[in-house]
Chain A
Amino acid sequence: MQIRGIMIATVILGGLAVGGVARAQTISYADAVTTLAKDCGADIKKLCKGINLGNGRIADCLTKNASKVSPTCTSSLDSVSAAIRQRNDAQAAYTKACQHDIAQHCRGIKGDGYTLACLIKTERIVSGKCNQAIIDAGWR
């Protein structure tokens, strides 16, 4: 009974993990900060003169001046930070998600760029997990 319980839990958790990967909708860094510039540009110019994105300083400045920042910018700030994190996580997940497919279909290919090109070319026989990782990473 106990073993079966563990097995069921594994199947459910495994399913969740796959579902989680498939659902991850990520956007490029460029699109993320374009949204920030659009929604927060005026507030940044007014309240954060001379301050840059690096080390979270724009985010800190906008948070510190929360009472003067537009509501659109406040909500955008959170979603942009999340979007950047998601894209970064998705790219970090690629190597592991595609490890098996690389060994299987792209063995002996040198260079990360050529390896990715091979995976994209063999899309039809590459695992769903790897294909999804490539999409989430923004490389297709």
Chain B
Amino acid sequence: MMRKHDVKKAALWTALVAAAISTSSAIAVAQQVTEQRIASSLGKLTTAAPIIDVALLREEAANGAGKGMTGLPNWGKVAQLPQMVVEIDFQNDSVGIEPESYRTLGLIADALHHPNLWDYKFLVVGHSSATGSDKHNLDLSEKRADAIREILSTTFAVDPARLFAVGVGEYFPIDASKASTADNRRVQLFNLGVFR
């Protein structure tokens, strides 16, 4: 029933999204990720971010397959925000993060600990490629998003109240024409706006 992922290296992307100017959806693929770059990307928040209901987002993703993020009422609001993309590698068909990606997690933690971002809460969104059943992919992406939230909030002491996690499986491919590509295995981190 559950087909396993056949790609060895699950390349996950972390897109750091700042709620900001809603006109531009700037997606910068990170050649080299630095804390400064994460912090400046996330620090662009100039307007109030939309109010986000994580349970609603989860439901909307599962029921809105094929529409893409921008075609859904709630996801559409966050999809327009500027983002920064970094890569996190997971073991094949597992929540285990490869040690090579520890540094990236640490860089995200450094950025979230900087006073520039103290005020903000974040949403971790797990994605998968279309390889394997969509139910399995949904579960795996959710567990991976949860794993990142847990690492940030325990190992790196980011206040868990600032962090939300949701998995959306294969429903929002970066490139819909290549739904099985490894690029679609990624995790996004959205700035949800002011905390409290």
Interface presence of A49 (CB below 8 A) = yes
**Tally of chain A residues near chain B (CB < 8 A):** 32
CB distance from A123 to the nearest CB of B (A): 16
Interface presence of B73 (CB below 8 A) = no
How many residue-residue contacts, CB under 8 A, span A and B?
Answer: 91
Find chain B residues with CB under 8 A from A112 CB.
115-116, 118-119
Contact B96 A56 (CB under 8 A): no
Dominant SS among interface residues on chain A: helix
Interface presence of A91 (CB below 8 A) = yes
* Residues of chain B from 110 to 148 with CB closer than 8 A to chain A in the complex: 110, 113-119, 147
In the complex, what distance in Å separates the CA atom of A54 from the CA atom of B109? 13
Find chain B residues with CB under 8 A from A49 CB.
91, 94, 96
Interface presence of B99 (CB below 8 A) = yes
In the complex, what distance in Å separates the CA atom of A56 from the CA atom of B153? 11
Find chain B residues with CB under 8 A from A34 CB.
102-103, 106
- Beyond A36-B102, A40-B99, A53-B102, whether A113 also contacts B151 by CB under 8 A is no
Top 9 A-B pairs, shortest CB-CB distance: A30-B106, A54-B150, A113-B116, A112-B115, A41-B99, A37-B99, A33-B102, A50-B96, A29-B106
Residues of A within 8 A of B (CB): 28-34, 36-37, 40-41, 44-45, 48-56, 84, 88, 91, 111-113, 115-116, 138-139
Contacts A/B (CB < 8 Å), 7 sampled? A34-B103, A37-B99, A45-B98, A54-B151, A54-B155, A88-B157, A115-B115
Residues of B within 8 A of A (CB): 35, 43, 91, 94-100, 102-103, 105-107, 109-110, 113-119, 147, 150-151, 153-157
